[in-house]
Structure 1
Amino acid sequence: MFVSYKWLQEYVDLTGITAKELADRITKSGIEVESVEVLNKGAKGVVVGHVLEREQHPNADKLSKCLVDIGEGEPVQIICGAPNVAKGQKVAVAKVGAVLPGGLKIKRAKLRGEESNGMICSLQELGIESKLVPKEYADGIFVFPSDAPVGADALELLNLDDEVLELGLTPNRADCLSMIGVAYEVAAILGRNVKLPVTEIQENGENVHDYISVRVDAPEDNPVYAGRIVKNVKIGPSPLWMQARLMAAGIRPHNNVVDITNYILLEYGQPLHAFDYDRLGSKEIVVRRAKAGETIVTLDDTKRTLTEDHLVITNGTEPVALAGVMGGANSEVRDDTTTVFIESAYFTSPAIRKASKDLGLRSEASTRFEKGIDPARTKEALDRAAALMAEYAGGEVIGGVVEVNTLKEQEVTVTVTLDRINRVLGTAITKDEVAAILTNLQFAFTENNGTFTITVPSRRRDISIEEDIIEEVARLYGYDRLPATLPVAEAKPGKLTPYQAKRRQVRRYLEDVGLFQAITYSLTSAEKATMFALETAEPIRLALPMSEERSVLRQSLIPHLLEVASYNRARQVENIAVYETGAVYLASGENELPSEKERLAGIITGVWHAHLWQGEKKAVDFYVAKGILDGLFELLGLTNRIEYKQAKREHMHPGRTADILLDGKTVGFVGQLHPVVQKEYDLKETYVFELALADLLNADVEDIRYAPIPRFPSIARDIALVVDENVVAGELQKAIIEAGGSLLKEVSIFDVYKGDRLPDGKKSIAFSLRYYDPERTLTDEEVTAVHEKVIQAVKQQFGATLRG
């Protein structure tokens, strides 16, 4: 619901409170104000100008040279490109120095050799959406009524000096789908009075029953139907102030009769419909259910086929409107209309909702009927519309109202005690404060010894039980004033389980090292379901999938992360590093629920580290991905239990992939995508990893033990071992550590060599070994003895020789 701040002032005194302050007060009371829009969007310096002369631009076929009086002494020359500019018009002129929406500043200029001192503006150039501009001005400038004063502020005349509050209404607050409903709400919040419109209707001596009769054959769907006849109307534009209010509320102006019905819809929340009386085709209105297969062409020129569930307004023979949703094209008000039949009815919500949903047709009217309107306003709105048509369309109101009313509504009465209110809210509100709140809400009530008996007005159809009244008291008392209390219980406060805490650590670590979290679908296609899976099982297919792309439960997180990377690459995001923690699903057997296993997966591609000023740039490689995982294993205290083993996996690069083992059991893998897969996803060199997260987080970890910094010096020895090319460096390192015993504290690889100086099929791997004893200084003899054991071990196990 869009609420004009200036229009609202007609119903409630808003002195001393700005639109933004009002929005804050409304939001605090329970209705969210989603935005406050200033309609002029920063525009200024736009006035009403009078076009005194208009002639063809001498050097351009599509430009006009205009002499315009802007109320400042001598007229000014303005070059205009609008096709509808003409002599005698009153137009919106942005003077030299004016600012238009978007920050465009108007300056003196020459267009095709002719001087232009300003700009004649269209409504779109003043910030009004194209869909709201009246059709006659959609492709040109806006023309003011002839009585618009020259030099007046055009933005003010167009109501663009207004501010509009957008209310995000919940379904229960249908009462605020009208200006009067919002006025009641604002008046209750501010503790002020509501000023309702005063309708003075003058009827002629004729009787409406001589013109039309009404019969309702579906009273359960339409308990109230009322109508008036206004004759001798002259179709034309509605008053500028009315057009401006409609546009501010998101409704395009059409003509005076249609605009008045829309204006009443916004003001009262009561949808109306205006029929061309002479096009009805009869002197009777019959409201009934549609016949199966019956058709109607609605105002949007669409032929619609109806069912027996749909309610229609007919002329006794054929439908002339789809009740509560949209009128029919066969009876619409046109330029030659002279007599109007105004319909004001109360249709029940289910009937309108059914038709609106079945036909895919939503309108401002159907929205209000679906949520429920106030039947007490049906005739009030009808009378006001007739009076406005008499005033602004020059019509005569025929005497009387044609009406059918079978509505049997009982007054809603709610009883609640002061003790109950305070017990629920945890407050100490006095009965005088409660009485003041109910008075501000304009709820009739009586109070007896702390018991309130409230008669709920028909406009508040959301209130029926005592909890509703307690909520009203709470929100108007102020949610921010309610005391904060902790629940009384014996249980200890909740906290994360060790598993949850570790998982949070993992996520925080990955984000700290530069990866972004992704959340992807659990459903994938049959082709991708088992790709990259650590464990595979029979794919689990949905019984009724929305699409084949989302028909099977995933067994790996990587396929969807590849889609994330591909999506970003297609939008010129070259450097991608994302991770996901989520479940995969493995079939447990027929007619059994699948087992869920939590996985951690990541994908990295592009440049990992760059200092362009220094000319440094490091692309992602295997060791970047492995380094991220090494840091993770260190965080979890698993470094000494993790082992990497070269592996070959489908869809992975055969020479740059490693399985990851925890205590000898495979818990994941890391490596580069196979070039074929990279090409399929349009990716450059890309590295991925996936881990069985539950296995890592549930692993028993010993307490951290700290050792003192050694006081005695260490001795380093380097060896270069020549071995067969197929010998894995990790296995060689493991053998060195075992042979070195307690004195060997550190082993690291610092060189690998293959070349002409070595026999074919051989490679050299150089290790740096560091020996020390924390309790004493080692002698060369002791180190040499241990070092010889190391050399003998690698010779025996791998046939290694020392490189000379």
Structure 2
Amino acid sequence: MRINTGWLRDYLASDCQEQELLDAFMTVGLEVEEEFHLAESLAPIRIGFIREKKPLGDTGALYECQVEIEKGKLITIVCASSHPVETGWGVPVAVSGTKLPSGALIGEGKFKGVSSQGMLCLDGELGLIARSTGLQVFKDEAMLGASLPSVSPIQESLVEVSVLPNRPDCLGMIGVAREVAAVLDMQLKYPSARELNSQSGKGDAVTVEIVDESLCSRYACQVFDGVQVRTSPHWLQSRLQTAGLRPINNVVDITNFVMLEWGQPLHAFDFDSLTGNKIEVRRIRNGEKLKLLDEAEVDATHEPLVIADAEKPIALAGIMGGWNSQTTTESKRILLEAACFDPVCIRTSARKLRIGTDSSYRFERGTDPNGMLSGAFNRAAELLQDAELSAASPASAVTDSYPSIKQSTQFTLSAARISKILGTDISGEQIKDCLTKLEMTADDDLTISVPTWRVDVNNEVVLAEDVARLLRYDSIDMKPMMATTTKGRVSETDGLRNSVAGFLTSNGFLECRTPPLTTEQIALSFSQWPGDAIQVQNPISKEMTTLRQSLVGSLIEVAERNARRGASSFRFFEVDRTFRQNNEIDERWMLGSVLGGPVNDSAWIASEKEIDFLRAKGLVENLLSHLNVDGCTFASDTPAHGYRGEEFAVISQGEHRIGALGRIDLDALGIKDRARVPLYGFELDLSTLITVKSPPGMFKGLARTQVIARDISFVVPSDLHYAEIEASLEKAFAAAVENLETEPRKDAGADFVLQPELESVICVDTFSGESVGEGAMSLTIRMLFRDALHTLTSGEAQQLMDYVVKQLQAEYGVVQR
């Protein structure tokens, strides 16, 4: 929301310093995004004198002007005829390349073949409230080329503020002025307006029917006759322009001006285009269509709320008016309306129809059916009757349909409670004084009646914050909190997430945070668990419509964006929730990761290997080992969409499926492979990992004996899985221990027994080629074992290895090399 401080001062009963007014914005609680001191921001605007003016084209809508911006330098500027200019006038000029405080960048353009090198600036276009005719004119030739602020003192500022969603009352100038006046201890000055129903008019009142009161709590309207639709006066146009709105005509400008003033949207219909003396507020019906002001057409697909006459829809309620009922220069009678609509209904319709307007923005956050609506309606009615604006007269009584009057909320406060909340002593008088400045009423017992425009006040803590704001936070002494310390505890899920993140970041991965919404195609990819995709009713964009079922899809997009910027190494992970629909919503915590590129990012050797399936599998195995998840297997299976079938494995622990690992098929996803290296993705179900992981290991003392390492090389069929070989080795070694013949030792007792344990089995080399034959592969396996109490002799170690080889030969027919 853009606020001109000169306009804001219209609603303050007394004056103050400009900087004091600007400082008050922060105390009010509005988020100031940009602040323009116009005396500084308008320094690039120069005074140029019009030396020549001639019509451009036959319509008379444009003029070609030769403007002298410094001695002897003329530029061509094309200007519209909406404001008269004359030869010899000195006017504010923004040359091409100048950026105005509104954010508009003045560029060089062509109009009917003539190049325009700048713009003649009206006050409103500069962010100023109009002075006199809205265009500042200078006659003194000595001002040629001077900066505008140097010859025309400027006291105004332009402030861009972000209004919090829970404070819709501050979406109008009066709401902001109310807060500023309270902070600066000033009186709020309301604009003049008639009393509701004070003028009845001669005609019959319009009948109003609200079909569903939950969607429209109040609807007020009145017919005006003798309307003169024309250009608005400059004071009105400039105020709209400072707020970023384009003046249209006096009737439309009045409704927009009052919306900016009160925060309550209004609309004016051409009454002669309506059928019957009746207004209905209802859902659009099957078969009905409504053409809007932007010429888009709305039907009954999403069942939006509409305003209708006796036969047809005439406006999209709370969002946009209809094409056929708009006010034009031919309009003589208008119907002025003000209404209060359900915020959820308006937001739902606006999102489904993908229409956003200043009106819907305010209704979505909630408007006040009492003070704001009545004040805005009466203010607009008075302006319509103003001779300078429209000179209209009431042609009917006011129809005010308000079935259930919204009452003010009441809270009973105590000075002790507010003091405890704020951490300092606050008296009852201070509380009463602060809240009455915000137009709340307070009894002697501190029973506070909160106006209905304050939709954010739902408990006493909000009122305590109001008191703190008006007393100024910096005036409250800081004190240490008095509380009993408690023992913190990390949940099992949080501990697992932290452990996963610590392991992966130490291995060069970057943690990502991606939106839970994605495209339908990506949402259906990569997931290895059953369930249907969940579509959201109000997506944030037409692409992001589906809740993700897997984290890998989002990380692929991250890798693709990094590849576009020249990245060659990809190691990303995310720990977050995924969603799917079974009998009920299945929401679970997952770990997703994408990796690819060089194994060692810092290697200078050109032939450094890239990450392949086995290296990715090794990383996952190390991660599972780090998490104390033992006995995991990797088995081939039918991959989900997005993975390549020849490099894919399901990860299981016993009967539990805990994840999947595979090479990503970018062609199947329709994504161009900008990475230029194979990409692999894996995903683990953290909720399942919690149930299958082993308890933390107990400390074991250092072994007293040296580990024994023995390598064996043998030829096996190439289609034999290594997991089967490793399992057979472990089984054969256990059998060898049982059949081990112990060699005699000195001082060994009768109960001397060896119990060697196999500590690890490592594949140290693989080889395939002509020397081992087709369909075969040579493996070199290193077995590490030891007895914890006694050193094995070479003969005993050899017994073990011979037995293991014999078992492999008997089971698989391997040939030892």
Is the pair's TM-score, using the shorter chain for normalization, greater than 0.5?
A: yes
Q: Structure 2 regions of 5+ residues with no counterpart?
A: 57-61, 128-132, 211-216, 738-754
Could you report, residue by residue, the CA deviation over 1:717-753 in whole angstroms, capped at 9, with x for unpaired residues? Answer: 5543345545555525536865586387665433222
**SS at 1:35's partner residue?**
strand
Which residue matches 1:22? 24
Cα separation, partners in 2 of 1:702 and 1:260, compared to 1, 3 Å: closer
In percent, how many aligned pairs have the same letter?
Answer: 22
Cα separation, partners in 2 of 1:500 and 1:175, compared to 1, 3 Å: closer
**SS at 1:9's partner residue?**
helix
**SS at 2:699's partner residue?**
coil
Which residue matches 1:636? 627
Q: Structure 1 regions of 5+ residues with no counterpart?
A: 58-62, 130-142, 201-206
Q: For residues 517-666 of structure 1, what are the structure 2 equivalents within 5 Å?
A: 533=528, 561-562=552-553, 565=556, 569=560, 572=563, 575=570, 577-578=572-573, 582=577, 600-611=591-602, 615=606, 618-638=609-629, 641-642=630-631, 644=633, 647=636, 649=638, 656=647, 662=653
Distance 1:691 1:183 in 2: 55
Q: CA deviation at 1:45?
A: 1.4
Could you report, residue by residue, the CA deviation over 1:113-155 in whole angstroms, capped at 9, with x for unpaired residues? Answer: xxx9x9423779x9999xxxxxxxxxxxxx9747466657568
Aligned counterpart for 2:230 among listed residues 222, 228, 235: 235
Contact 2:766 2:779 in 1 (8 A): yes
Cα separation, partners in 2 of 1:219 and 1:728, compared to 1, 3 Å: closer
Q: CA deviation at 1:437?
A: 0.6
Distance 2:356 2:538 in 1: 25
Q: CA deviation at 1:754?
A: 2.7
Contact 1:33 1:167 in 2 (8 A): yes
Determine whether 1:176 maps to 2:170. Answer: yes
Distance 2:410 2:799 in 1: 96
Determine whether 1:164 maps to 2:190. Answer: no
Distance 2:670 2:317 in 1: 55
Which residue matches 2:748? none
Which AA in structure 2 matches 1:377? G
Distance 1:24 1:83 in 2: 40
With structure 1 as the length reference, what TM-score do the two structures score?
Answer: 0.68
**SS at 2:258's partner residue?**
helix
Distance 1:661 1:330 in 2: 65
Q: CA deviation at 1:77?
A: 1.7
Which residue matches 2:412? 416
Q: CA deviation at 1:275?
A: 7.7
**SS at 1:53's partner residue?**
strand
Which AA in structure 1 matches 2:245? I
Contact 2:32 2:159 in 1 (8 A): no
Determine whether 1:734 maps to 2:726. Answer: no
Cα separation, partners in 2 of 1:24 and 1:493, compared to 1, 3 Å: farther
Q: CA deviation at 1:765?
A: 2.5
With structure 2 as the length reference, what TM-score do the two structures score?
Answer: 0.67
Aligned counterpart for 1:185 among listed residues 137, 157, 179: 179
Aligned counterpart for 2:379 among listed residues 378, 381, 405: 381
Contact 1:524 1:550 in 2 (8 A): yes
Q: For residues 240-389 of structure 1, what are the structure 2 equivalents within 5 Å?
A: 242-256=236-250, 258-269=252-263, 288-289=279-280, 334=328, 347=339, 349=341, 367=362, 371-374=368-371, 377=375, 381-382=379-380, 385=383, 389=386
Which residue matches 1:194? 188
Distance 2:136 2:294 in 1: 32
Contact 1:174 1:372 in 2 (8 A): no
Distance 1:598 1:106 in 2: 51
Q: For residues 425-504 of structure 1, what are the structure 2 equivalents within 5 Å?
A: 425=421, 428-447=425-444, 451-452=445-446, 472-473=466-467, 476=470, 495-504=489-498
Which residue matches 2:797? 786
Cα separation, partners in 2 of 1:432 and 1:770, compared to 1, 3 Å: same
Cα separation, partners in 2 of 1:413 and 1:708, compared to 1, 3 Å: closer
Which residue matches 2:740? none
Which residue matches 1:720? 713
Which AA in structure 1 matches 2:253? D
Distance 1:635 1:258 in 2: 68
Q: CA deviation at 1:245?
A: 2.5
Distance 1:243 1:523 in 2: 43
How many pairs were matched up? 728
Which AA in structure 2 matches 1:47? R
Distance 1:410 1:793 in 2: 87
Cα separation, partners in 2 of 1:723 and 1:411, compared to 1, 3 Å: closer
**SS at 1:251's partner residue?**
coil
Distance 1:672 1:320 in 2: 57
Q: CA deviation at 1:784?
A: 4.4
